[in-house]
């Protein structure tokens, strides 16, 4: 199929997914094996992401997913979340990310309330998510890994990879993180190469951006349109100051799902790297900041206070702290004085 022609596995509408995929291809050509999305046991590069998403979207079509279908999403890794959300959006479906720490009963209730007909899951949260499908209207499940009753992401990509740049990824998708990026390359640019999506210009979305649902949230309960996601991406770009070569560390439980998705979109669009930290404590976050030589980190107000007064010394200087709530001015001043880190609110 010629490039730009609509069809399964392509993104014809002016959506964030289409923009992010275009940027990811450009960054893959410029920066080679630089990692885009990093979790403790796996990572994915820009080129792998740009190939896997359309293949997975085509695989979803082959498995009966249709535009407008709602998909419950329950994954704990930043790479899996970004792949799931963008593959679903590329297939025309509406992702509904669920809280990571919800019980089986809560998950079943939310699956029913959001009208989910299928599930995307994996990792430590897969057991509860798959159990919840027995109490809901979900009748088909896709998973990162091998789980009884679920179609693996590897098979999904294999079903959708009919040729071209995606054809080689079907066999590798089961261990996509181990081969998708060169280890040790998280960032590494000059820090200012390229503009990326949302780097400048007005906060309004493109006038042609679709107004149909692109993301279904529970906290707060709202549907975000594709236009809303463009607006959020521009706002995050202005607040965070993320540029090419930056490394952003984030606790996966410290952000609302839409914010975490927005941060992954921002990094993919700008050629930066997003590192996910599954543990809720401050120490693992600080370890990731040091191990990846991070330039920015997302923290809650409570974590900001803790790392300011309870943790010395910090592993690297000049880290921008992106706080998920209101920033106490006294704590911010103390953080700058003690560590040289600059807090700014994401809200």
pLDDT in tens, the chain (347 residues): 223 333 444 444 578 999 999 999 999 999 988 999 999 989 999 999 999 999 999 999 999 999 999 999 999 999 999 999 999 999 999 999 999 999 999 999 999 999 999 999 999 999 999 999 999 999 999 999 999 999 999 999 988 775 444 444 444 444 443 333 433 445 544 344 444 444 333 345 555 656 789 999 987 789 999 999 999 999 999 999 999 999 999 999 999 999 999 999 999 999 999 999 999 999 999 999 999 999 999 999 999 999 999 877 778 888 999 999 999 999 999 999 999 999 999 98
Q: Taking the model in full, what pTM does it have?
A: 0.87
Query: What pLDDT does 206 receive?
Result: 57
Query: What pLDDT does 14 receive?
Result: 73
Q: 166: which DSSP letter?
A: G
Query: What pLDDT does 225 receive?
Result: 93
Q: At what angle do helices 226-240 and 16-31 cross, to 10 degrees?
A: 50
Report how far apart the first and last C-alpha atoms of the chain are (Å, whole number).
42
CB–CB of 170/54 below 8 Å?
Answer: no
Query: What pLDDT does 13 receive?
Result: 58
Burial 140-163 (b: 16+ CB within 10 A, else e): bbbbbeebeebbbbbbbbbbbbbe
Classified by CATH at the fold level, domain 16-260 comes out as Rossmann fold (3.40.50)
Query: What pLDDT does 2 receive?
Result: 29
The region that residue 76 occupies, defined by phi over 0 for left and psi between -120 and 50 for alpha, beta otherwise, is: alpha
Calpha distance 305→303 (Å, rounded): 5
Query: What pLDDT does 86 receive?
Result: 97
Query: What pLDDT does 222 receive?
Result: 93
Name the β-bridge partners of 221: 218
Instruction: Find how far residue 110's CA is from the centre of its chain.
Output: 21
Query: What pLDDT does 12 receive?
Result: 44
Calpha distance 161→40 (Å, rounded): 27
């Amino acid at each position: 199929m010629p490039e730009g022609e609509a069809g399964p596995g392509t993104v014809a509408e002016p959506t964030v997914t289409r923009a992010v995929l275009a940027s990811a291809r450009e960054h893959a050509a410029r920066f080679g094996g630089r990692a885009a999305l990093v979790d403790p046991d796996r990572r994915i590069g820009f080129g792998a992401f740009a190939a896997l998403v359309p293949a997975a979207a085509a695989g979803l079509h082959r498995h009966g997913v249709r535009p407008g279908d709602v998909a419950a999403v329950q994954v704990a890794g930043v790479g899996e979340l970004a792949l799931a959300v963008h593959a679903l959006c590329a297939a025309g479906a509406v992702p509904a990310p669920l809280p990571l720490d919800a019980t089986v009963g809560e998950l079943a209730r939310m699956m029913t309330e959001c009208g989910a007909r299928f599930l995307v899951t994996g990792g430590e949260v897969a057991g509860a998510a798959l159990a919840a499908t027995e109490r809901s209207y979900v009748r088909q499940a896709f998973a990162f890994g091998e789980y009884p009753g679920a179609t693996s992401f590897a098979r999904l990509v294999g079903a959708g990879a009919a040729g071209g740049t995606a054809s080689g990824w079907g066999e590798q998708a089961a261990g996509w993180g181990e081969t998708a990026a060169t280890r040790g390359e998280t960032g590494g640019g000059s820090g200012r190469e390229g503009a990326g999506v949302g780097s400048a210009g007005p906060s309004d979305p493109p006038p042609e951006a679709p107004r149909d649902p692109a993301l279904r949230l529970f906290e707060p309960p709202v549907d975000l349109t594709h236009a809303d996601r463009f607006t959020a991406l521009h706002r995050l770009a202005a607040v965070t100051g993320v540029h090419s070569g930056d490394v952003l560390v984030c606790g996966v439980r410290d952000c609302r799902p839409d914010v975490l998705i927005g941060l992954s979109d921002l990094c993919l669009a700008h050629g930066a790297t997003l590192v996910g930290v599954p543990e809720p404590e401050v120490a693992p976050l600080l370890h990731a900041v040091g191990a990846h030589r991070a330039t920015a980190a997302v923290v809650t107000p409570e974590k900001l206070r803790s790392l300011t007064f309870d943790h010395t010394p910090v592993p690297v200087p000049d880290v921008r702290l992106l706080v998920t709530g209101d920033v106490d001015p006294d704590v911010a001043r103390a953080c700058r004085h003690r560590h040289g880190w600059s807090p700014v609110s994401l809200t």
